[in-house]
Amino acid sequence: MAKAKDYSKIMRNLMWILSRLYRGEALSVKETAQELDVSIKTAQRYFNDYLLDNFPLKKVGRLWALESTTKMVVDEESELALQTLEEMAKNIGTDFYQKVHPLLAKLYKSSCHPLYTKVNIEDITDKMTEILALEKAIKNKNLVHCIYDFEDYRLEIDIKPLLITEFDGFWYLIAMDARNDIIKKYYLKHISNVQILDETFEVSQEIEDIVKNSINIWFDPYKKPFEVRLFIDSEVAKYFKRKPIAPTQTISGEDQDGSIEITLKITHEMEILPLIKSWIPHIYVLEPQWLADIVREDVQEYLERMGG
């Protein structure tokens, strides 16, 4: 929870600075430090480390201001910075995100090129009590007793919670069944009556890494991760540089025309297949061959069904 509080404080302070700047004001480091109740060194870091490289700021004497107070030109770097702030807000929690989100939307819409896109993420405000209890249990590695609603019945279960995560806009709890230590994925909105038990548990670093590196709900914690190598053409390469597919992604090669090769590790082909298909024809599988064959067969079947 300490990390979330740190993020929350940084986010609130950055939002305060940005809102003042976008109203056309000029701010001094000293004034900012006093208003936010932080040290001058911390206030200086907000401008130099968080904002200067990502927003059109200029320094006039001892004052910071925007290059233009009438409109914001959202270039690729500024767009990415706003997206990063939005992701940080989501990671803090839904309640805080809903407060920050409208301001971020205004920053987008204040530009001459409105680039704001709605973030389709499930609202779990009504589950904050359960989330806070689960986060505490995850941090302290306590067993949890709760009720889980399946499609046609509900069950009292004991679990070892590992991670609360969002996959494709929906929230899940990754946890081990306390009866047999089998890792399962629980839809967060179906969890209720969370009780933290005194009993604690341990989990191997290997399992923690697999859970942390998962791309989507298809990950299989019981399969050894295997490497996938992809070619990304120059037209879309920047998007894969901005936002890696997975924490394990690395750029293994770059051509003069801007195209790149990336490698990443997955545990199940469905972790990557939908994404590959969504970027056709700008992406194709270099390795493993069997994965490339699946993509080719699926595309061929699609074309045949479409009469192509």
Cite the residue boundaries of each domain of the chain with CATH code 1.10.10.
Answer: 2-109
Query: What is the distance between the alpha carbons of residues 174 and 177, in angstroms, rounded to a whole number?
Result: 10
Which fold would CATH assign to domain 2-109? Arc Repressor Mutant, subunit A (1.10.10)
- pLDDT tens sequence across 233-249: 999 999 898 888 888 99
Q: Beta strand pairing status for 183-187 and 170-177?
A: antiparallel
Q: What is the pLDDT of residue 71?
A: 43
For 17, counting Cβ atoms within 10 Å of its Cβ (0-12 exposed, 13-18 middle, 19+ buried), the class is buried
For 140, counting Cβ atoms within 10 Å of its Cβ (0-12 exposed, 13-18 middle, 19+ buried), the class is exposed
Cite the residue boundaries of each domain of the chain with CATH code 2.30.30.520.
Answer: 125-204
Pick the CATH number of 226-305 from 3.30.70, 2.20.28, 3.30.9, 3.40.50: 3.30.70
- pLDDT tens sequence across 26-73: 899 999 999 888 899 999 988 887 777 667 788 888 899 877 544 444
pTM, full prediction: 0.56
Cite the residue boundaries of each domain of the chain with CATH code 3.30.70.
Answer: 226-305
pLDDT exceeding 90 applies to what percent of the chain? 40
pLDDT exceeding 70 applies to what percent of the chain? 78
Which fold would CATH assign to domain 125-204? SH3 type barrels. (2.30.30)
